Each structure stands twice: as structure tokens, then as C-alpha cells.
Structure 1
Amino acid sequence: MSAAPRRTLAALGIAALLGASACAGTSAVSSAGPSTGSPATPSASGGRTQGEWTWTDDRGKTITLPERPERIVAQSGAAAALWDFGVRPVGVFGPHKLKNGGRDPEVGEVDIDTVESIGNVWGEFNVEKYASLQPDLLVAGMYQKNTLWYVPEESLDAIDQIAPTVGVQLSGKPLPGIIERYGELAAALGADPDAPAVAEARKRFDAASAALKELAAKRPGLTVMVVTATPDALYVAYKPDHPDIAYWSELGLNIVSPERPTESEGGFWEVLSWENADKYKADVILVDARAQSMKAEEMAKKPTWADLPAVKAGQVYPWHAAERYSHLGYAKVMEELVAELDKARDDVVS
């Protein structure tokens, strides 16, 4: 997400604090070609596929269409994941364009010049423009159960009348499993799961995972804390609720585990006032790198932040909190993480 810290900070009412605004292609599949395991088979003419298409999403909702959907509209994170697996959406919503016109990292490798935008910030979803794209299917991730990410609740009925929706659960599941789920959906949409680029990305992910595991084994004393922030509070990631952080912990990385969030806090984070920002100490701090989140330079103005051992040691690195769930996306993240941690001292916190 972009306007609010990812994974239910919107439910905590933080979207407003971070400046949240309330305010056509012909084929969904790249030249990677159709999957032999797709529920639908290509038509002889090379156009629309023939045969019924069925998919049961992570809400337990079964979508059945007379043909395989080709005109896909997706939330930016979902669009980025599907893109890496070979699917080419015709429309995107959620963070995808920066203020300077560049591509927001949250949309990954998606060519934003070839897809239609129907909303770029939290709460923005142009239903009329969505309808004009004549979509066959909408795809979005879900951090909260049965809640499509970046799909405004007040517009859901209208959106449902235009095209079926597919939800991919992103919390409470292991990182590799989420990635594979997007791969399965991409294959069902006609992408080739064995395309060279897809296979290479999978190998790269496995290699990066192995490298991180090796580093963690060699540096058991290196402690890491993962945070995001607003002007009013510091949010320490509760690792069981974040698939990426949980995965790194499984690989052996020593990650600070804060107190379990209360139900009223919405989960995912322990919320600390800036006066209590020194509750946890670590050799390294990973800070939310999203465009709309509080920057480390801004956080440096907070005395309790500036006094943290990792900050004093200059061991503050980016956390790519909204990385797309694809092998390529997380291979890059872990390669960067290994390079940063490899040079970090592990004696900052005694």
C-alpha cells in the first residue's frame, strides 16, 4: 500500500495521517504463451479461449466464466506479481505513479504507460473508468480476511456488478506459498509457469534465500528490528503477521519480536509513542521505504530515535514493505538485504 502503512494501518486510522486521499489492451497474457495446465485452452484463432474457466479464490469464492478471462484489472501489488509471471493487466489501481511521474516501486516492473490507471492513492477508485475497460476479472491481495486491498468498501457493490473479483490472501501465510499462489493464478490466466524468465526468477529466489540463511547462521548475534512510522508513533513489526519478516526469521535471522498487538490495534504492529521508541534495541533497523511513509531523515528529528544504537551506528536500511509477491521481487529484496547485513556490525547492542 502507499497512503497508509501496509497491513491494516488503515484500520487504525493512520491513512489520514499519512496524507491518504479519499477522493485497453487486447490480451492479458504476455508472449510467454499459454500454460498447458490452464483450465481453458487457446482457441484455434488465437483470440479468446474456448471452454469454461473456474477459479476458487482465498475467500472460498468460486468464479466461473464461459471463457478464460483476458482483460484483467489488478491492484498494483497484484498487478506487479502477475506481471512477473507473464500476465499483462489492462488496468491498475493503488500506488503505481510517483509525484514526479515515475513508476512507484509498489507496481514492480509493470509498464505504467501501457495500462490504464483507475486510482493511484488510498480511497481512489474510478468505477466509471473501470467499467469502461470492460474487465473480465479484478484481482487484489487481502491483508484482512475477505477484504480486497485498495477496493473501497462503499463502491464494492458497483464493482462486483461489473466483473468478478479474485482475492489472494497475503497475511497469515508463508511467503513462498503466497508467491506460488500468484503463480498458479497466472498459469490459470494463460501464462507459462515454465517460461525462461519465470524459471530464472525462481532459481534466483532460491539462491537469495540460501544466501540469507547462510549469513544468519554465521551471524547469530546480529539483531534486526523492522519499523514504519508516522509523526505521532513508531510501529514495530510483529513478525508473525508479515510474511516476508516471518520467512527471514525462519531462515535464522534474529529479528526483534515485539509484544503481540491487541485486537483493538488491528494487529501487525506494536504501536509505540515516540517517547517509548527505545523500548527495543537492535544492531540494525529496517525502515519502511514506501514513498508516503515517514523517512529516516524525518525520524532523525525525534530524539529517542536518534539515540537508538543502530541509528548512531549508521545501520539503518530500507525495508521494502510493499514488495510484490513474486520470485523476482523478493529475490531482489533478499539480495539487497544480504549485502547490507553482511557489512553491518553485530556488536552495536551488547
Structure 2
Amino acid sequence: MSADQFLAGQSLADRFARDRQHLRAVAYRLLGSLSDAEDAVQQAWLKASQADLREVRNPTGWLTTVTARECLDMLRARRRRAEVALPEPELPDTTPVASPARTAEEEVLLAESVGLALLVVLDRLSPAQRVAFVLHDLFSVPFEEVGRVLDRSPVAAKKLASRARDRVHGPAPQQRRLAARHLPLVAAFLAASRGGDLETLLDLLAPDVVRRADPVLLPAGMPTDLRGAQAVAEETRHFAARARMGGTAWVDGNPGIVIAPRGRLMAALRLTVEAGRIRTIEVIGDRDRLDGLAIAVAGGADRSREHTCTTVSPSR
């Protein structure tokens, strides 16, 4: 059966165009980069357009498998070369639908819709763990099919997803349950920081608040310690652009904020709250310190599956 005879007259190009947004959503969560996700989807189209389609019964699931395998190869290559971003390959213009313009604004909006904390934690997983978690927990792909993507047994795929899930959500000790009541305050602080809302910042900060920051994040001459609500609020307004790349998260078991452009952790804020106001803000940017932080997704929104993907037909 040729691509043009795919599924009783529906062309592969038509099916791919219909599924493209779904495939891009899968690829973005697997790779954490819009440009890399677009590349993976285009590579998946090139492979799909040359494949033997006679045994395919579920085209969306099959295309998801092809895309996931492309992403897995990219994650493994990224890990091997220890690269932050992969170079964009030269691809012929044969995709059925033209790729949308890649803008910084689109990347920010997409990252916010997924959750920056989730992207940060996913970036810390092994390629196999990331694929197992994203496919099963976020897109409801059965473990039998996840195992086929990873060349593992369903049991092994389930264990990989379980380990990843523990990293994504972290443990839930009693102290974190108590600290959860401070999450709305931290979210309000982040929102006010993004908007440069001085009045709200002053309401959220304790009068004697202390901000401590790693020197690597500060302009020359700026003190590593800053004291007082007015001074801290004024400074925070100047970093509104950074705050727009931030999201709430558990940082070492307490409510905090991660600053992560394109899902890459650049800084983390550990906040302490006393009497309903923020008492200390520790801004961490030193790479060794960042690597040592325990970061997990705050709240339960990311525990739910985002999409339902019908059973995946194995790719050959």
C-alpha cells in the first residue's frame, strides 16, 4: 500500500497534517525546545513518507511512535554530546504543512502552558525515563507501546515511568503539606514580579525582608545581600523580564520559583514565609548549587494526563 492509498483513500499527508499539532505537543514535552520539536516532527514525516504502511491500523498512534523515536534519538545525542541545544539539520521542504514561525513569544507561551517546573524536572531525567513518563503519564500511551519505543519490556517501561514520576512530583512529607498553604503567596509574588507591580510586592514582602543572591546573577557592584521591602521590591521590578521566564515549584521541599528559559534552569528562588509575608528570598544561580537542588512540580495540575492517545500501532 502506498502513502497515497493510506487508510482507504486518505493520504498520509492529510493524516499527518491533521495530527501535526498532537505530534508537536508530544515532541515539545520530550525535548523541551520548540525548534527541536519541529525538527523531530519533520524528521518523523520524512521517515513516515518512506515507510511500508500495509500493517498500520492506528495512524495517529503509529505517527506518535515514529515521532517519539526521533525524540529519543535526539535526547540520547544531546546527552552524549552534553549540548544545551542541537544544531538544526538541513531538511528538504517536503512536509505537508509548513512549519509555523518560531517566535520567542510562542516559546514562552508554550512553556507556560506545559509548566516550567515540569520542563525543568523532565530535563533532569534520563532519556528513557523522560520518554516513558511523557508518553504514558501525559499522553496515555500504554506501557506495551512505550516499551516498543524504548526497546524495553512493558515492565521495564513501567519502572522507568515510576522513577520519573517520583522525580517529577517528589515526596510529600508532612512539612511540605504544611508549606503548601504558602504556594498562593509565592504565585502572587511571581505575578507581581512579572508585572513590575510595586504596590503588590510591598504588600507581599515583610518589612525587614532579606534577599540573598549568588554573585553570578548580579551586575557588577550590586550587593549579594539586600534588606528592606522597599529596596527588594524596587530591585525586583528591574528583573521583570527574568520573572516572565519563571514558574512556581517545590525547591528543596519548600515553595519556590524556577527561572528557566526554554525549560533550562538558569536560577532558582528559595523563599521563606512568616506571618503571611515573604521573609527571605535566596536567589541561586551557581551551577553546582543548582545541580544540587531538589526540584519538583508544585501542585497537582501536572499529575493529570493532558491528552488521550489511542493504542499505538508498532512502528517497523
TM-score clears 0.5: no
TM-score, normalisation: structure 1: 0.30
TM-score, normalisation: structure 2: 0.32
**Larger RCO: 1 or 2 (CA < 8 Å, sep 6+):** 2
Higher helix share goes to which structure?
A: 2
